[in-house]
């Protein structure tokens, strides 16, 4: 998408259930300033959102897409990064309100990403939720003693039932009844 591309008029915005290009059920790969890339056909589609911006940095496309779909149902505008390097690029461009980061990112350690946030004035206020990569029933019987600068964590098997509430709490948003 070049700099001169303008968003479509309101009557041209998409049915959120399907991609206007391939007509497949919509599942976005990434979003940039209201534009989203369809995972199926790679078309760029305008998709306005007023919700708080959340960046998901996770190596698994499947888990990332699942978290994105879940968070969108709670009114969040969701963006995806497949690794820590891409997350670093998007953090400064998007200035999201929260970052959801896989504890086991492939190209860097999650604490390095969090450390970068905490040491960068413009990014310091971003709330961070770590996603525990591997579920081990005996690993966290108690809250971990260190989150390496993150604000909270969610074990992977609790994403569906706890992640939206934790982000809402960190951002001071009251859950809708």
List 131's β-bridge partners, or say none.
102, 154
pLDDT per residue over 51-80, tens digit each? 899 999 998 989 999 999 999 889 898 989
pLDDT per residue over 74-112, tens digit each? 989 898 999 999 999 889 888 999 999 998 888 888 889
pTM value is 0.70
Per-residue pLDDT band at 135 (split at 50, 70, 90): low
Per-residue pLDDT band at 40 (split at 50, 70, 90): confident
List 51's β-bridge partners, or say none.
none
Q: Are strands 98-102 and 53-57 parallel, antiparallel or unpaired?
A: parallel
Give the sign of the dihedral formed by CA 38, CA 78, CA 175, CA 142. Answer: positive
Helix residue ranges, H only, the chain: 61-73, 84-94, 110-118, 159-171
CA 127 – CA 152 distance, rounded (Å): 9
Per-residue pLDDT band at 149 (split at 50, 70, 90): confident
Strand segments (E) across 28-76 = 28-32, 35-38, 44-46, 53-57
Mean pLDDT throughout 113-136?
A: 88
CA 39 – CA 61 distance, rounded (Å): 10
Domain segments of the chain as ranges: 1-48, 50-171
The pLDDT of residue 12 is above 50: no
Query: Which CATH number describes the domain made up of 50-171?
Result: 3.40.50.2300
Q: How far is CA 38 from the centre of its chain?
A: 16
Please give the mean pLDDT across all residues of the chain. 78
CA 168 – CA 123 distance, rounded (Å): 19
If one compares 42 and 156, the residue with the highest pLDDT of the two is 156
């Amino acid at each position: 998408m070049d700099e001169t591309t303008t968003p479509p008029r309101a009557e041209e915005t998409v049915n959120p259930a399907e991609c206007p290009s391939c007509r497949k059920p919509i599942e976005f790969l990434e979003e940039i300033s209201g534009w989203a890339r369809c995972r199926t056909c790679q078309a760029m589609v305008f998709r306005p959102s007023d919700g708080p911006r959340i960046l998901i940095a996770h190596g698994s496309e499947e888990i990332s897409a699942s978290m994105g779909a879940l968070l969108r149902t709670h009114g969040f505008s969701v963006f995806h990064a497949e690794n820590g390097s891409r997350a670093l690029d998007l953090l400064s461009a998007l200035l999201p309100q929260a970052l959801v980061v896989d504890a086991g990112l492939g190209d860097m350690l999650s604490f390095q990403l969090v450390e970068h946030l905490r040491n960068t004035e413009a990014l310091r206020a971003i709330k961070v939720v770590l996603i525990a990569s591997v579920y081990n029933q005996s690993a966290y019987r108690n809250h971990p003693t260190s989150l390496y600068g993150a604000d909270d964590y969610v074990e992977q098997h609790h994403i569906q039932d706890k992640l939206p509430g934790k982000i809402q709490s960190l951002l001071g948003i009251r859950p809708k009844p």
